[in-house]
Structure 1
Amino acid sequence: MDITTHSPRTAAIFGSTGGIGRALCEALVSRGCETVYCGSRDGSAPAGPHFTPFAFDLADEASIKAAAQMMTAQPPEMVIVATGILTLPDGTGPERTYKRLDPDVMAQVFALNTIGPAMIAKHMLRLMPRSDRFVFSAISARVGSISDNGLGGWHSYRASKAALNMLLKNFALEVARTHPEGIVAGLHPGTVDSALSVPFQANLPDGQLTEPDQAAANLLDVLAGLNPANSGRVFDFKGEEVPA
């Protein structure tokens, strides 16, 4: 497939200052995207005429709604939610045993990994064209797979990503009734050299860590190859489906 045939003219990245998010913004422009809405908490964006910054907060639905309203005149053909949390700002990492479960920690992880992306979908999907191809995707994780879970642990993170995957499936089914060319999908980028993975890089085998630029290229290639029949599923950076 010629990936240029499915390169969007307009795209939106929620989480544009993270390692993957920034790389996605730059990769989209390099592939001919004319306008990339770049969303972050402080409203910053890469420099250049093709980047349009906006501010949003995953925990503030009003800010997400305002961001969507800003894009109404020129809605994006591709939306990527490139946000997520594994280690909280106070240093609290994923639980390795149920004995470490804390309701406040769980609430924070679900707010950022599940509820925030759901609110983005709530306000962005309604902007999508009914008759043309569009893509709404969110960064998920292989550890969100229930059937592929052979180790356990990382309870809040795993559960939040599994819940995100279920929501993406739900959205895909609902959107398909009115938007037959629409695609809703989850993406597993692999282990990317970013702030999220830094605390867990020490024990990685050689060659398992991917640079953000390569990760962005991989994910855009995957999205370019999807069609409506793939909607509602989660795909890894090689384009292979992650089991539910």
Structure 2
Amino acid sequence: MVSLPTAVVIGAGGGIGGAFVAALRNTGRYGRIHAFARTPPTSFSSVFGGQINVTNEESIAAAAMTVGSPVDLVLIATGMLHEGGRMPEKALRELDANTLARIFEVNTIGPALALKHFSPLLPKDRRAMIGVISARVGSISDNRSGGWFGYRASKAALNMIVKSAAIEIARSRPEAVCVALHPGTVDTRLSLPFQHGVAPDRLFSPERAARQLLDVIDGLKPIDTGKVFGWDGEEIQP
């Protein structure tokens, strides 16, 4: 009997991460779904909750150890835009070293360490996927308004991490695809202060965002590895 694939969602406590878990379970395609978050989600049916703190490498390594078996899909859905009442910078004079360090810790270093510990779990003999939540504002060529220094830079750096990881992963796992994903504007706490100018048809529920991104992932091939894709399947240039 052929066993069903295994999936991992890191950041399952967030809006998009939680929606990923529900969407994957509803497909019936996965025999095991490991859902990791700071506060472990409840385990039920094919979903197995586990604790992770992406700002602590020991926690990431321990989470990967609990999975064990080959993993066919890894989704890294962690990130921050604002914290503790501090909003994204609008000008250079607002830059703060501690805030910049914090946003890089969460948006860049955490996902990089997750790639370090979870990519070795991908099978070598079949298709496997890694999707990392990024953002269109991480595109340098698409930046026409400035501002949001820390968030933009941390996502641009994340996209480079994904690119380099994809090159390395392909050497031993030629059928694997590792990409960064832009979910659009999703109705979560992260985007709440910035939704006023978003057209209603472009403000996605977490459930819709998760389905759209999973559809994008399903259509990707090894030639797409290392790239950044939007919710609509269009490639986003660096």
Return the TM-score normalized by structure 2: 0.96
Match of 2:139 among 130, 133, 145: 145
Aligned to 2:22, which of 22, 26, 29?
26
Deviations 1:168-196 (A, max 9, x none): 00001111111100110000000000111
Structure 2 distance, partners of 1:219, 1:15, is 15
Alignment of 1:80 onto 2:75: yes
Residue ranges of structure 2 left out of the alignment (5+ in a row): none
Give 1:208 deviation, angstroms. 1.7
Q: Secondary structure at the match of 1:26?
A: helix
Taking the aligned partners of 1:203 and 1:166, their CA distance within structure 2 comes to 29
* CA deviation map 1:89-145 (0-9, x unaligned): x11111011110000000000000000000000000111111211111110000000
Which letter maps to 2:121? L
The CA distance in 2 between the partners of 1:152 and 1:75, in whole Å, is 42
Identity rate of aligned residues, in percent? 44
Q: Does 2:234 correspond to 1:237? A: no
Alignment partners' CA distance in 1, 2:70 and 2:34: 10
Which residue type is aligned with residue 78 of structure 1? L
> Which piece of structure 1 moves more, 63-72 or 26-35?
26-35
* C-alpha displacement of 1:48: 2.5
- 1:218 matched to 2:215: no
Give distance in 2, aligned partners of 1:228 and 1:207.
31
Per-residue displacement from partner, 1:132-167 (whole Å, max 9, x unpaired)? 111111100000000111111000000000000001
Query: SS at 2:200's partner residue?
Result: coil
Alpha-carbon separation, structure 1, partners of 2:187 and 2:142: 23
Aligned residue number for residue 102 of structure 2: 108
Consecutive unaligned residues of structure 1, counting only runs of 5 or more, are 1-7
What is the Cα deviation at residue 26 of structure 1?
0.6
SS for the counterpart of 2:7 is strand
Worse-superposed segment, 57-66 or 28-37: 28-37
Measure the CA separation in 1 of the matches of 2:41 and 2:174: 34
Describe how 1:127-138 pairs up with structure 2 within 5 A: 127-138=121-132
**RMSD over aligned Cα atoms:** 1.0
Shift of 1:9: 2.1
Measure, in 2, the Cα distance between the counterparts of 1:122 and 1:206: 38
Match of 2:35 among 10, 33, 38: 38
